Amino acid sequence: MLEIKKLQKSFNLDRDNILVVFDEFNLKIKANTTTAIIGPNGCGKTTLLNLISGNEKADNGNIILNGIDITNEAEEKRATRISRVHQDPSKSVSLNLTVLENLALADKKGENFTLNKLIRKQKKDRYIEILKSFNIGLENKINEKVKFLSGGQRQSLSLIMACMKNPKLLLLDEHTAALDPKASALVLEKTRDLIQKNKITTLMVSHNIRDALRYSDRIIMLDSGRIIIDRPSLNIKESEIFDIYKENLKERFVS
């Protein structure tokens, strides 16, 4: 479904302190699975999502989605097949538009439209039903501007919008990190429900190992752009992940 071949990415190429993030990086992701990407700050997690989404351009290598090489595609073109939810709830929504207007924009993703034809009355009932499925009262705020919503409500709306057009690939970039524990748990449960219902292949970056194990099929840990753990989530424990990572760090510093 998603295949990354010999990916290379470095920063500061015009300076003395060149930062190599990925060098000959390879990865295959199966369709209809959720893969959690974990690892310390600076290991390449968000950079990997940026390269897949087109936010960053690869120096070399190939990114192949459903058999199509998208390595050199513009981010806007990739966005018709790839959706992303950011850590900051405000990045995925338009704060000064209403919930209804945001949903209508998401529903028009990849299509040509004019503002005066953005909202079709016959679709409002569908939007309300989608909001009701989250069971947090968003349907009662459909005409309210998004800037007045709570963080959990904004992120729930971001998730709904990201999945409205049934993307081929969903990228979750620590999408619950900015939420309180209660809101985070709710959004994660709704995330799993949406992914399973719509059979969306998903990459989920997380700093919370327990959540990563619970809500994924596969765990990949990165360290300095290398994969040091790649296991089915059911076959690995939280303590094992910490032990493997500690051992890897010890070997690196001793050598």
**Would you place residue 255 in the very low, low, confident or very high pLDDT band (cuts 50, 70, 90)?**
very low
CA-to-CA distance for 218 and 231, rounded, in angstroms? 6
The 3-state DSSP composition of the chain as helix, strand, coil percent (nearest 5) reads: 40, 25, 35
The Cα–Cα gap between 55 and 174 comes to 16
The whole-angstrom separation of Cα 120 and Cα 101 is 10
How far apart CA 58 and CA 44 sit, in angstroms, is 13
Domains of the chain: 2-254 (3.40.50.300)
Give the lowest-confidence range in 34-48, 80-94, 112-126, 226-240.
Answer: 112-126
Question: What are the pLDDT digits (tens) for 116-135?
Answer: 566 666 688 889 999 998 88
Q: Residue 251 above 90 pLDDT?
A: no
Q: Contact, 203 vs 37, CB < 8 A?
A: yes
- Give the pLDDT score at 110: 75
Q: With 50 as the cut, is the pLDDT of residue 253 above it?
A: no
Q: Which helix (H) or strand (E) holds 199?
A: none
List, edge to edge, every strand of the sheet that includes 19-29.
19-29, 2-11, 60-65, 68-69
Q: What is the rounded average pLDDT of the residues 80-97?
A: 91
| Residue 29 to residue 17: CA distance in whole angstroms | 32
Provide the H-helix boundaries in the chain: 45-53, 75-78, 99-107, 121-132, 151-163, 181-198, 209-214, 238-254
pLDDT digits (tens, 9 = 90+) for 166-204: 999 999 999 999 898 988 999 999 999 999 999 999 999
Contact 33, 217 (CB under 8 A): yes
What are 147-153's contacts with CB under 8 Å, separation 24+?
A: 147/95, 147/96, 149/99, 150/183, 151/89, 151/178, 151/179, 151/180, 151/183, 152/179, 152/180, 152/182, 152/183, 152/184, 152/186, 152/187
